[in-house]
Every structure is written in structure tokens, then in C-alpha cells.
Structure 1
Amino acid sequence: MSDKDVCEPPSKKSKFMLQLIDKNEIVKEPGMNEIDRYNALMVEEEYTNPLTFWQQQHIQLAYPTLYPLAKRTFAVPCSSAAVERQFSAAGQIVTQRRSNLDLSTVNNLIFLRSIENSKRQI
């Protein structure tokens, strides 16, 4: 029995990864889909910022399905300012005298406060 006769089972992919594969995708190498090509990619340069890799036109064209996913993933702001504002607002609402407020009441008050603040900015 030769090496060619041995059939390896297909590699298991998560359901999420299978949803990313476009059924009409043009495969550049026989038997490889876009995710397999990306996993096999050998990058000569060292990228400290993934956005610089995905901003290259030839990369966007080579991975048309993965590019929008990467764009959405790396567009998440790296700031905790909004969270800090919410904690500050909660700290002003839940004082020593109001420490027994129900959690839903505190959430509603913070929500109303954010609406009030957004109206002031307009």
C-alpha cells in the first residue's frame, strides 16, 4: 500500500469557519479554500499592527471573504472610556444613602442619564 492509497480524513473545521467559506469562491490552489490559503500564508515582513497587513490591496483581493471579517474585528476601539463613564455615573447614583437600589433601577437611571447627556450634545 503506497502513500497515495492512504486517505486522510478531512480536517475538522468549526461551524463558524465553514460559514465564512463562499461556495462560489475561486480557489487559487486545487483543494484549498480561502481559510486554508490564509493559514498556509508565509509572511516575509513582520507586522506589529494587523491593520497594515489587511490594508494592502493584494491581500484584500486574495482574501475577499476574510477581509471584511478582519476589518470588523480590528475596528473595535481599544479604549475603555465609555466603560469608565458608566462606572462614574453609577458611582454618582449609588451613594451610601441609596445603596439599596435595585439593579434594574440603577440600569434605568444610567440609561436615562445617557439619553439626557446625548441631548445636551446636540
Structure 2
Amino acid sequence: MYDLKLDAILIHPVDSNRASTSLEEPQPKKSKGEQKLLEFIGEVAGSSEEIKSSIPLEEQLDTEISRYKGEEHTDMLPLLWWNNFKGRYPLLSQLAKHYLSIPATSVPCERVFSAAGHVVNERRSCLLPSNVNMMVFLAENLK
């Protein structure tokens, strides 16, 4: 019978570097979500002056998460809370700002499109775009 282990040893002789690294404990593989999160934080950290540090990004993020979990939270508005504590949690506050600023619904933009549909019709098809913008703005903000 053919032995794969014996064949691998014969074809690839073990060198001293490879033998020493095989005895070390392997690093746990990160999930895709964790990898994406670290990539995003890396982009944020690269563009922000206040986040730059000599501590590795993963270690800094782990520290912030454990500190956040141990802290008592108030009934303050989320974006206001993250703005107040951005010095204490620089990485997490950037994430919060990015994701909490996304509108929960598309109703406001649907309302604007509907108002634009009422302004621009067959009788007003020759309006200048600047006039249409102003009329829609007025229609939405005079309510």
C-alpha cells in the first residue's frame, strides 16, 4: 500500500526552520467577517490621525471591545454617545459613525422623488434643472 506521509518526507526533506515552526501552536483562522472588519478598520486607521498607534490593530480592537463590554451604558442617543467617547474608543467610534449614520428607511428620498414627479409634468417639461431643484426644495421644506 502507498504511504503518503512517507512519500512527503522523501520528496520534501525537513529543514530546521520548517521543523521548528511546526511545533508552534497554529494561529486560529479568522472568519470572513472578522477579516472584513479588520480590513475596514485598517482603512479607517490609515486615514485617521487619532487612531495611529504602535499597538497592533487587532490587539487595540480587542482591548476596546472588552472595555466597551465592561462599561455601563446610559440612555443617551447612540451617535451622541459615540461622539462623547471617541477618545476612549477610537476604532469602535469610527465603526459606529460609519454604520449608525445609515438611514433606517428610504421614505425621505422616496418622498422627494414623489415631489419631483409632481413638479415635473407635461406642462412643465421645459423647466430648467435649477428651477426644478428649487421648486422641489420649497415643496418639501414649506410643509
Q: Which has the larger radius of gyration?
A: 2
Secondary structure in structure 2 of the residue aligned to 1:86: helix
Q: Structure 1: how far apart are the matches of 2:94 and 2:70? A: 13
**Shift of the alpha carbon at 1:80?**
0.9
Matched residue SS, 1:77:
coil
> What's 2:46 paired with?
18
Which residue identity lines up with residue 110 of structure 1 in the other structure? Answer: V
Paired residues, number: 84
CA gap of 1:88–1:82, structure 2 versus 1, over 3 A, is: same
The alpha-carbon distance between structure 1 residues 59 and 114, as it changes in their structure 2 partners (threshold 3 A), is farther
Aligned positions of 1:35-74 closer than 5 A: 36-37=58-59, 57-58=68-69, 64-74=89-99
Q: Name the TM-score, length of structure 1 as normaliser.
A: 0.52
Q: TM-score, normalised by structure 2?
A: 0.46
Distance 1:101 1:17, change over 3 A: same
Q: What's the offset of the Cα at 1:114?
A: 1.9
DSSP 3-state at the match of 1:37: helix
Unaligned runs of 5+ in 2: 1-15, 18-41, 72-84
Residues 95, 64 of structure 1: alpha-carbon distance in 2 compared, 3 angstrom cutoff: same
Identify unmatched segments of 5+ residues in structure 1: 4-12, 42-53, 118-122
Number of the residue aligned with 1:82: 108
Between structures 1 and 2, the one with greater helix share: 2
Deviations 1:21-48 (A, max 9, x none): 535x583xxxx1x3x4378x7xxxxxxx
Deviation of 1:78 after TM superposition, in Å, equals 3.1
Q: Cα deviations across residues 45-88 of structure 1 (Å, max 9, x unaligned)?
A: xxxxxxxxx7x823889x81111111112211231111100010
Q: Which residue in the other structure is 2:136 paired with?
A: 110
In the aligned structure 2, how far is the partner of 1:71 from the partner of 1:99? 43
Judging changes above 3 Å, is the alpha-carbon distance between structure 1 residues 69 and 90 closer, same or farther for their aligned structure 2 residues?
Answer: same
